[in-house]
Amino acid sequence: MEKIRLSKLMSQRGLCSRREADDYIERGWVFVDGERVAELGVRILPTQRIELGEYARTRQQDRVTILLNKPVGYVSGQPEPGYLPAVGLIHRESYSPVETAARPFSPAHLKELAPAGRLDIDSSGLLVFTQDGRIARRLIGADSGMDKEYLVRVQGRLSPQGLDLLNHGLNLDGRPLKRAEVAWQNRDQLRFILREGRKRQIRRMCELVGLKVIGLKRVRIGRVRLGSLPTGRWRYLGKDEVF
């Protein structure tokens, strides 16, 4: 049986991100089969037991995940010329606490805060920022198949065959898309549920069947919904909320 780098195995098991794993190992906060490991690059067998020490577990508990209702006109990641990054909307004055996820705001919660997924500049809705590598991997890791739900306002005429193609049968960039769930929400709005995230996927899918997207809003990721969070406001992920 081939040995695997400890930090990689920790990430695969969902204990933390690889970057966090290296930090925890270097600090002596990781135990393999009950023995402390404090050397980077160590390789172990996949069958060996890995445990995080108390300090590592406490640090993970202190990490926050934030839900933002992103308006149109903001970019999800790095700023682009003429546009502001959505993370700039996260501050004390825009905090919108709810009873199930209320906690005191701290400037420390803005450090190492990274988007776990993207929304196009001309799209709105649920955008997740997190300090927790476990959540980031769950949402955007290579093996993530998490549902993401969107309400999409369209113009144009869609045939029954076109609706079937939106659900399954389209290709983008020479590769077939995974099966989606697409249905009419009302006369000019479709509801999309996707399990992948190609670049501008919904807009390009609609173009292929003769539709033009005039509004796109993400309303759910996994089991977490945008709900009544106002546009441009944010809240913490509750302790009982799980994606």
> Is there a domain that residue 45 lies in?
yes
pLDDT computed for residue 35 by the predictor? 92
Q: Looking at 20, 40, 61, which one is the last position of a domain?
A: 61
Find the domain containing 153 and state its range.
148-221
Q: Please list the residues that pair with 210 across neighbouring strands.
A: none
Co-location of 82 and 92 in the same domain: yes
Using DSSP bridges, classify how beta strands 189-194 and 84-85 pair: parallel, antiparallel or unpaired: unpaired
Tokens (6 digits) for 151: 């309400």
Q: Spell out, as residue ranges, where the chain has pLDDT lower than 50.
A: none
pLDDT tens across 179-215, in order? 999 999 999 999 999 999 899 999 999 999 999 999 9
Please state the domain count of the chain. 3
| CATH number of the CATH domain containing 74 | 3.30.70.580
Co-location of 161 and 138 in the same domain: no
Half-sphere exposure of 122 (CA within 13 A, CB side): 9
Instruction: Check the CA dihedral 110-81-141-22 and report its sign.
Output: negative
- Alpha helix stretches (DSSP H) within 123-168: 133-140, 160-167
In angstroms, the CA 94 to CA 112 distance is: 19
Global pTM reads 0.82
Co-location of 85 and 57 in the same domain: no
Co-location of 104 and 196 in the same domain: no
Catalytic hit among 23, 33, 62, 120: 120
| CATH number of the CATH domain containing 52 | 3.10.290.10
Tokens (6 digits) for 94: 């825009």
Q: Is 22 a catalytic residue?
A: no
Smallest Cα–Cα separation from 52: which of 76, 74, 24?
24
Co-location of 80 and 111 in the same domain: yes
Cβ 86 vs Cβ 70: under 8 Å? yes
pLDDT computed for residue 12 by the predictor? 85
First to last CA, the chain: 34
At residue 81, the 3 state secondary structure works out as coil
In angstroms, the CA 110 to CA 105 distance is: 10
At residue 85, the 3 state secondary structure works out as strand
Instruction: Check the CA dihedral 78-141-60-42 and report its sign.
Output: negative
Q: What are phi and psi of 224, to 5 degrees?
A: -105, 125
Co-location of 129 and 230 in the same domain: yes
Co-location of 165 and 75 in the same domain: no
Give CA separation, 36 vs 29, 30, 43, 60, in Å.
Answer: 7, 6, 14, 19
Smallest Cα–Cα separation from 180: which of 190, 195, 170?
195
In angstroms, the CA 50 to CA 8 distance is: 12
Which residue type occupies 69?
Answer: N
